[in-house]
Amino acid sequence: MTWRLAEMTTDQARDAVRESPLAIIPVGAQEQHGGGMAMSTDSVRAVGLAERVAERLAGRAVVAPAVNYGVSPHHLEFAGTMSLSPATFTAVVRELVDSLSQHGWRRFLVITGHGGNNPALSVLAQEYVRSDLVFAWTPFTSVVADLIDGVSEVHGHAGEAETAQMLYLAPDLVQVDRLEPGATTLDELGPVARLARRAGGPRVSVGFDVYHKRGVLGDPRIATAEQGRLLVETAADRIADFAEELLSA
Amino acid sequence: MTWRLAEMTTDQARDAVRESPLAIIPVGAQEQHGGGMAMSTDSVRAVGLAERVAERLAGRAVVAPAVNYGVSPHHLEFAGTMSLSPATFTAVVRELVDSLSQHGWRRFLVITGHGGNNPALSVLAQEYVRSDLVFAWTPFTSVVADLIDGVSEVHGHAGEAETAQMLYLAPDLVQVDRLEPGATTLDELGPVARLARRAGGPRVSVGFDVYHKRGVLGDPRIATAEQGRLLVETAADRIADFAEELLSA
Amino acid sequence: MTWRLAEMTTDQARDAVRESPLAIIPVGAQEQHGGGMAMSTDSVRAVGLAERVAERLAGRAVVAPAVNYGVSPHHLEFAGTMSLSPATFTAVVRELVDSLSQHGWRRFLVITGHGGNNPALSVLAQEYVRSDLVFAWTPFTSVVADLIDGVSEVHGHAGEAETAQMLYLAPDLVQVDRLEPGATTLDELGPVARLARRAGGPRVSVGFDVYHKRGVLGDPRIATAEQGRLLVETAADRIADFAEELLSA
Amino acid sequence: MTWRLAEMTTDQARDAVRESPLAIIPVGAQEQHGGGMAMSTDSVRAVGLAERVAERLAGRAVVAPAVNYGVSPHHLEFAGTMSLSPATFTAVVRELVDSLSQHGWRRFLVITGHGGNNPALSVLAQEYVRSDLVFAWTPFTSVVADLIDGVSEVHGHAGEAETAQMLYLAPDLVQVDRLEPGATTLDELGPVARLARRAGGPRVSVGFDVYHKRGVLGDPRIATAEQGRLLVETAADRIADFAEELLSA
Amino acid sequence: MTWRLAEMTTDQARDAVRESPLAIIPVGAQEQHGGGMAMSTDSVRAVGLAERVAERLAGRAVVAPAVNYGVSPHHLEFAGTMSLSPATFTAVVRELVDSLSQHGWRRFLVITGHGGNNPALSVLAQEYVRSDLVFAWTPFTSVVADLIDGVSEVHGHAGEAETAQMLYLAPDLVQVDRLEPGATTLDELGPVARLARRAGGPRVSVGFDVYHKRGVLGDPRIATAEQGRLLVETAADRIADFAEELLSA
Amino acid sequence: MTWRLAEMTTDQARDAVRESPLAIIPVGAQEQHGGGMAMSTDSVRAVGLAERVAERLAGRAVVAPAVNYGVSPHHLEFAGTMSLSPATFTAVVRELVDSLSQHGWRRFLVITGHGGNNPALSVLAQEYVRSDLVFAWTPFTSVVADLIDGVSEVHGHAGEAETAQMLYLAPDLVQVDRLEPGATTLDELGPVARLARRAGGPRVSVGFDVYHKRGVLGDPRIATAEQGRLLVETAADRIADFAEELLSA
């Protein structure tokens, strides 16, 4: 038995509407992740997390095929990055939810491996406030922010935590010898980049080339698969708990 | 002399492009704020804050006319609420920025009095990452979250902090005798509403009628103008500091 | 008691749906008005007129918060002008009407202080022809065109009538010593501008910089508050009469 | 030699860019015109007028193929009426102008036989204010409003003037024995319809089924081909004069 | 009696809904057709074919006014070509179908004289798969591809078959002495153009200026009215047969 | 070394722009494929074919991550099918091409495993006719239509050829014991379905539930992996040949 809609036949999907009332949609990105990580990192992480959440839900959830592209304008200065506009990305997720709702699904959980998708998902969530569908979404790393330790003052994209997760989930997509540090201290950042990193107040966005010439925040070289396992499995636990509450609500 | 674009002549605006390089756009909402506060609360607060920030910048900023409507689908169950779609709200702000950029402004700060506008502003901010414009935006209350004290376990919309701000900024728009408590403890919330209040993990949005039959979070009766002064003036200080850094960057 | 939706609580709005069946939405503009008038002139005039109409209707109408921006591409050559596209302006008004109709309002009157909004409002009006909503809209000055006297051969934007209205409605937004004449005779206009002024036949539009280097039509220096009072109060009378007929239809 | 772009080869069009600098686009409608007139009346009239204007311009203008459909929501209650949305109609005309401008045309005159197209054309005209293209448009009957005589108190759609024009331009599309009077006096109109006919003040739109059960304003039976000739040929004279001025401007 | 909606009154249209359940919409193009054929060739052919199909259906079909413009970006390098975007063209046809469906028509047949409209019509057809409307469309020449003989190795746009059809349908729109051969053999084509002509595999599109400097495929000089008659009348026979089956389905 | 953009780092992508000038984008679908095949069949086939084409091009092509969803309204009656609208699907592919073109790619080949994507891709191809990008696309099975043998009179979706391809490419996604015949003869089809299958003339589209209650055309039980190998490898050969010509053009 599988929870992957991609692998199911239509007959299996018909049964799943009844037995697996939560539909999980993993969304990622195709964008630069520094000198040593594959550009599909965020898609790989989203799928890896989605499947672990589904496993924990033991048949009560299905996982849709991944949306392999996300909103990545802030990485387009780096070769190979591919980006959807927020409007198109939003339309894609809306139409996938709409398709599944036609078959009877009523509860949705989008798992994004890419923080650049958060704003569009937040906007989309507002559309469902007045519908009879329940639309939830979750980021990945921030769900386990309390567990990240030993990181640089500045860290984040393609840094310690993401690299650790990839070393655990898909080590063959990490070229360890090519990992190199990005910006690791606030002192290294220019003034606007520093403002962009500040939390809890006014916000300004910059391209990742403004942060650092390699587009990396933090030092991926210190990442370990063991730290990755902790982040991934705990995130899966916590999101599964959330999903259980959603299903029993 | 004024910093209000609404009151300027075109000649004054022509001078302001040179002397006042930051353009501040206050955006609010027209939506229910419980039994005792005016529906324009978020617009009033946005304008009040924007003007205080401009004062502190002493001629280096202009304030555009307010956008009196925001993204408020989660309040539409309550009479009098008026909402723009995220796409329309985004288009409005984009076109205002575009207009001012044609006259020479390059730095923008949107001040929103309404949290429902945050997702759309976050999406819009992504559009400017690759432009030569600097687009910053700021919420209000969360900038001074550390200063709010004595509040209920559950608080927020039309609660202690917003009411305090209004008692300070526009006391005639608060009908004190009609203030009444909304949901104040997590125990009062239904299961999905409780999930929606949880921070730092997966997210789900609900209409404010799901939170509480009066659409209020917290107990506005304990609000004071003195607490309001602290929140408003400190927020203005902090945002002005941010703006100074942006201008000197 | 108030007729302003901005100042009402949601409870008051709930009552107003029943008692005040007409919803008035004032729409203005932020655009150059020559050397002596504030750029918010059209918004100020729209609000001033809307409130006077509501007063005359004595509780049978509510006034929504102003839309402070309009369709002003023909003034964008002048510093400080801010313009919405027709599509965005139309979407704003449509969504405001839609919001209010969800609460039970069925009759709408948009009062525009800016002629550049007329085409978009005319298009929008076509959408409601087949609905159960009644959507009316009105310009300002042309409602009392018969009362304007002593004006130049060419007059209009930022000229005698608009200045008079502002001297009556908001004298502090008129810098009388900076008022200066614009184009006042057809002879002063270039050939296309002259075609653009011709009434009753083929139409061509030009930017206001093509009309006159200061973007003014007429001589605002001869405006008086007394003439303004006549224009404003008579327009309010006539529009209120229209509204009464609409309400009793 | 022809002025019709439809009949030209591409080589002839290439020459016409140089010799015939004005591009005329006739736009009509497919909508009910009472019991005796063909539904293509407005298209036929637009083409008839456009060709007469082109004749008078003696080679200095070309006429594009007709846009046979217009904005006709107010007639959709009557069988056979076909309507484009304002947005689609606007896009069509914009793209036709854009196509011709790629070949070198810079001056455009849209001739509409249908008043329902006026709002969309007015909006579109605003887009060209800041371009290097000159975009003019003209209605038909109102250009010669001073020449209409002997009409009913209420007249207009499918009434005396339009029928006269058709008797002159395309008598085979008028089934004279089926002509029948519509609403001819204000007393016959309901209260909203009466408001909708009032000129010079607030405006409200109604479907033509609200005006009269046959959707006709005026009494087409008194129309004559001779009156039609006067209206058509004089309108052509006046519009050609306007076009001459535009070309020499 | 007529089958042309353009010539009908609304009363006749009301009857036709019942008696003539198939609505035919001819769509064409305004685009270069080489040195000797009018730019309206595709519109003329679409109308000519639509009317012949309607004749054969003997009162069971109506023909709507022609859409005189199509999707022609690949001809825009040639003077006089006018093109709608696929999105606008699609919206036009969708809104025409929608209008007629409001009056009761349920079966639609779009006849296109221009192959550039095929992709947009194919997309539109997908929209109707789940509706209760039957939306069919047909090209022209490919319906009788088996009857074309004696043509060049390369043939098509403005070539033998189209010219023959025009010599039969509208000989006055063919300037026979200006007909000239275009590309007639694969050897004359550049490499990408040759790939674009290849059938049954991967597809690439090129502008017609890439095919040949005159934008013609084939040798129109050998076309005859007799061949045109065969192509036109047989196409009408076959499409009418199809329509009969659709009507009796 | 890899040709997969998903697995590359940004540095590898930067090199690939120069060395691998063709960018291949596989697009599929998530839709019912009868009782025995996985719903991701079209995505799996598109990726399998794309990778084989890239292999043959030996480093001159890169393969982007798959677009896992396509245009599938005609399958939405079957549980589990998920569909993008043509407009959204088109926007996705357009933005992916745009992203890659920003990095320097100029030649694109979209490989679709799903025929329902063909119309949208045909429309999109028209947009590139006037650009400096070369946009090609290819279907799968019809490229090797001449090699399919022993099939039913009616065959196609989820039938002999697709099943054979899957038995070769991803046998674990075929549940052989659940394969069952769909419609295999024209006699089994209803009248509209029969019209929809007819080639070379007028076209009408139907949902796959209209074709057959199981949405299958043909008899998948006779498919063999050996036939699949022939279809897949020959299609790869032919498309690679096409790509070689495109690259050397």
Domain membership of residue B4 (yes or no) is no
Q: Give the distance from residue C74's alpha carbon to the nearest chain D alpha carbon, in angstroms.
A: 6
pLDDT of residue E1: 59
Which residues of chain F make contact with A46, given a CB cutoff of 8 A?
Answer: none
Distance CA F188, CA F175 (A): 25
> What is residue B228's predicted lDDT score, i.e. its pLDDT?
97
Contact indicator for C190, D246 with CB cutoff of 8 Å: no
Give the tens place of pLDDT for each residue, D48-74: 999 999 999 999 999 999 999 999 999
Q: Is the distance from CB of E177 to CB of E149 less than 8 angstroms?
A: no
**Is a pLDDT exceeding 80 seen at residue A157?**
yes
* Cα–Cα dist D186/D195, whole Å: 10
Residue B1 covered by a domain: no
In DSSP terms, A111 is beta-bridged to A26, A138
Which residue has better confidence, F1 or E50?
E50
The residues near E169 (Cβ < 8 Å, ≥ 6 apart) are E44, E45, E48, E228, E232
Residue F132 burial (CB < 10 Å; 0-12/13-18/19+)?
A: exposed
The structure tokens listed for A4 are 């992957």
Residue B131 lies in a domain: yes
If we measure between CA atoms, which residue out of B139, B132, B187, B134 comes closest to residue B161? Answer: B139
Taking the CA of residue F194 and the nearest CA in chain A, the distance in Å comes to: 24
* Alpha-carbon gap, residue E97 to E107, rounded angstroms: 9
Task: Evaluate whether residue C4 is within a structural domain.
Answer: no
pLDDT at A172 over 70: yes
User: Which stretches of chain C score pLDDT less than 70?
Assistant: 1
Total number of domains in chain E: 1
Q: Strand order of the sheet with strand E203-204?
A: E203-204, F134-138, F107-112, F22-27, F61-63
Interface test with A, best of F4, F10, F175 (most A CBs within 10 A): F10
What value does the mean pLDDT take over residues E124-138?
Answer: 97
CATH of the domain at E199: 3.40.50.10310
- Per the CB < 8 A criterion, the answer to whether E232 and E48 are in contact is yes
- CB distance F65–A40 less than 8 Å? yes
Binary contact (C125, D145; C-beta < 8 A): no
How far apart are the C-alpha atoms of E8 and F85, rounded to whole Å? Answer: 37
Chains F and E touch (3+ CB pairs under 8 A): yes
Best of B42, B67, B82 to mutate (most C CBs within 10 Å, chain C): B82
Other CB atoms within a 10 A radius of the CB of residue C117 amount to 29
Whether B170 maps to a domain, the answer reads yes
Q: Do A130 and B206 touch (CB under 8 A)?
A: no
Q: Which two tokens stand for residue C104?
A: 């039970």
Residue D247 token pair: 């070309």
Of E30, E69, E88, the CB nearest to D88: E88
Q: How far is the C-alpha of D141 from the C-alpha of E121, rounded, in Å?
A: 37
Q: Is the dihedral of CA E194, E195, E200, E203 positive or negative?
A: negative
Return d(Cα F190, Cα C119) in angstroms, integer. Answer: 51
What SS3 class is residue B102? helix
Residue in chain F lying closest to E191 (CA): F249
Closest by CA position to C100, among listed C60, C64, C137: C64
Q: Return the structure tokens found at F15.
A: 């090199």
pLDDT at A107 over 90: yes
Select from A36, A88, A173 the Cβ nearest to the Cβ of F91. Answer: A88
pLDDT at C53: 98
Environment class of residue F80 by beta-carbon count within 10 Å: exposed (0-12), middle (13-18) or buried (19+)? Answer: buried
Q: What's the confidence (pLDDT) of residue B229? A: 98
Of F196, D40, E52, nearest in space to E24 by CA: E52
* pLDDT tens track for D154-164: 999 999 999 99
Q: For residue C11, give how far its alpha carbon lies from the nearest alpha carbon of chain D (Å).
A: 30
Percent helix, strand and coil across chain C, each to the nearest 5: 50, 15, 35
Lowest mean pLDDT among B213-222, E80-89, F119-128, F150-159: F150-159
For tokens 């990396």, name the residue: A216
Mutate to test the interface with A, among F39, F47, F67, F208 (most CBs of A within 10 A): F39
- By three-state DSSP, how is residue C204 classified? strand
Give the DSSP letter of residue F132. S
Q: Is position B200 within any domain?
A: yes
What is the secondary structure of D44-88 as a DSSP string? HHHHHHHHHHHHHHTTSEEEPPPB--B--GGGTTSTT-BB--HHH
Most D CBs within 10 A among E72, E82, E172, hence the mutation to make, goes to E82
Is A190:B249 a contact under the CB 8 Å cutoff? Answer: yes
Cα radius of gyration (chain E): 18
Q: How far is E223 from chain F (nearest CA, A)?
A: 23
Decide if C1 is inside a domain.
no
Q: Decide: C103 and B77 in contact? Cβ < 8 Å.
A: no
Residue E110's SS3 state is strand
For position C1, what pLDDT does the model report? Answer: 59
Question: What pLDDT sits at residue D78?
Answer: 98
pLDDT mean over E222-245: 97
Evaluate whether chains A and D are touching (3 or more beta carbon pairs less than 8 Å apart): no
| Residues from chain E contacting residue D173 (CB–CB below 8 Å) | 7
Least CB–CB distance from B9: residue in C16, C35, C67: C35
Mean pLDDT of E186-209: 93
- Touching, A vs B (3+ Cβ pairs under 8 A): yes
Give B99's contacts in chain C (Cβ within 8 Å).
76, 81-83
Count chain A–chain F contacts defined by CB atoms under 8 A: 176
Show residues of chain E in contact with D82, CB under 8 Å: 5, 64-65, 95-96, 99-100
Question: Are the Cβ atoms of D73 and C126 closer than 8 angstroms?
Answer: yes
Closest approach of chain C CAs to the CA of D114, in angstroms? 14
The model's pLDDT over A192-202, given as tens digits with 9 standing for 90+, comes to: 999 999 888 99
Tokens of A184: 């690791």
Which residue from B126, B138, B242 is facing A205, i.e. has the nearest CB? B126
Q: Do chains C and F touch (3 or more CB pairs under 8 A)?
A: no
Residue A149 has pLDDT above 90, yes or no: no
From D125, D195, D242, residue closest to C195, measured CB to CB: D242
* Residue type (1 letter), E161: A
Tokens linked to B235:
């927020």
Residue of B81, B129, B143, B211 to mutate when probing chain A, most A C-beta within 10 A:
B129
pLDDT digit string, tens, across residues E70-106: 999 999 999 999 999 999 999 999 999 999 999 999 9
CA atoms of C182 and A22, how far apart (whole Å): 67
Contact indicator for B217, B183 with CB cutoff of 8 Å: yes
d(CA D138, CA D144): 12
pLDDT for position F62? 98
Q: What percent of chain D has pLDDT over 70?
A: 100
Q: Give the C-alpha separation, D33 to D20, whole Å.
A: 35
pLDDT for position F1? 59
How far is Cα F229 from Cα B159, in angstroms, rounded to an integer?
68
Does the pLDDT value for residue A150 go beyond 90?
no
Cα–Cα distance, F119 to E130 (Å, whole number): 17
Cβ neighbors of B18 (< 8 A, separation 6 or more) are B104
Who contacts D156 (Cβ-Cβ below 8 Å, separation ≥6)? D217, D218
Do C81 and B65 lie within an 8 Å CB cutoff? no
The DSSP output letter for E66 is P
Q: Measured between alpha carbons, how far is residue D224 from residues C91, D158, D170 in Å?
A: 45, 13, 12
Within 8 A of A138 by CB-CB distance, chain B residues are 201-203
Instruction: Give the tokens for residue E221.
Output: 């000089």
Residue to test with chain F: of E204, E208, E234, most F Cβ within 10 A: E204
C-alpha angle E211-E217-E223 in degrees, rounded to nearest 5: 165
Handedness of CA C93, C96, C100, C101 (dihedral sign): positive
Query: Residue B123 in contact with residue A120, Cβ under 8 Å?
Result: yes
Residue whose C-alpha is closest to residue D143's, from D53, D75, D225, D208: D53
Q: In terms of CA atoms, which chain A residue is nearest residue B201?
A: A143
- Please check the confidence at residue E131 and state whether its pLDDT lies above 70: yes
* pLDDT profile of chain B (249 residues), mean per 10: 92 98 98 98 98 97 98 98 98 98 98 98 97 97 91 92 98 98 95 90 95 96 97 98 95
> Which chains have 3+ CB pairs within 8 A of E?
D, F
CA closest to F18 among chain A residues: A79
> Shortest CA distance to E236 belongs to which of E116, E105, E61?
E61
pLDDT tens for each residue of D172-217: 999 999 999 999 999 999 999 999 998 889 999 999 999 999 999 9
Q: Give dist(CA B20, CA B29) in Å, integer.
A: 27
**Contact between B195 and A249 using a beta-carbon 8 Å cutoff:** yes
* Residues of chain E with C-beta less than 8 angstroms from the C-beta of D5: 30, 39, 80, 82
Please report whether residue F5 resides in a domain. no
User: Is there a contact between F9 and A102 if contact means CB atoms under 8 Å apart?
Assistant: no
For chain F, the first-to-last Cα distance in angstroms comes to 26
- Determine, for residues C76 and B102 on separate chains, whether the beta-carbon distance falls below 8 Å: yes
D-chain residue closest to C248, CA distance:
D191
Is the pLDDT at E150 greater than 90? The verdict is: no
> What distance in Å separates the CA atoms of residue A138 and residue B202, rounded to the nearest whole number?
4
Boundaries of domain holding F191? 10-248
Strand duo D134-138 + C203-204: pairing:
antiparallel
Q: Give the three-state DSSP class for D109.
A: strand
Q: How far is CA E52 from CA B145, B153, C27, D208, in A?
A: 76, 78, 54, 35
Sign, CA torsion C209/C210/C212/C218? negative
Q: How far is C31 from chain B (nearest CA, A)?
A: 8
CB contact under 8 A, A7 and F82: no
What pLDDT does A189 receive? 95
Taking all residues of chain F, what is their mean pLDDT, rounded to a whole number? 96
Residue D1 pLDDT grade (very low, low, confident, very high; cuts 50, 70, 90)? low
Summarised one tens digit per residue, pLDDT across range A127-147 is 999 999 999 999 999 999 999
Closest residue to E192, CB basis, from F76, F192, F249: F249
pLDDT of residue B121: 98
What does the alpha-carbon distance between residue A166 and residue A143 come to, in Å, rounded to a whole number? 16
Three-state secondary structure readout of E182-242: CECCHHHCCHHHHHHHCCCCCEECCCHHHHCCCCCECCHHHCCHHHHHHHHHHHHHHHHHH
Nearest CA in chain B to C32: B10
Residue at B111: amino acid letter: I
Q: Do D201 and C238 touch (CB under 8 A)?
A: yes
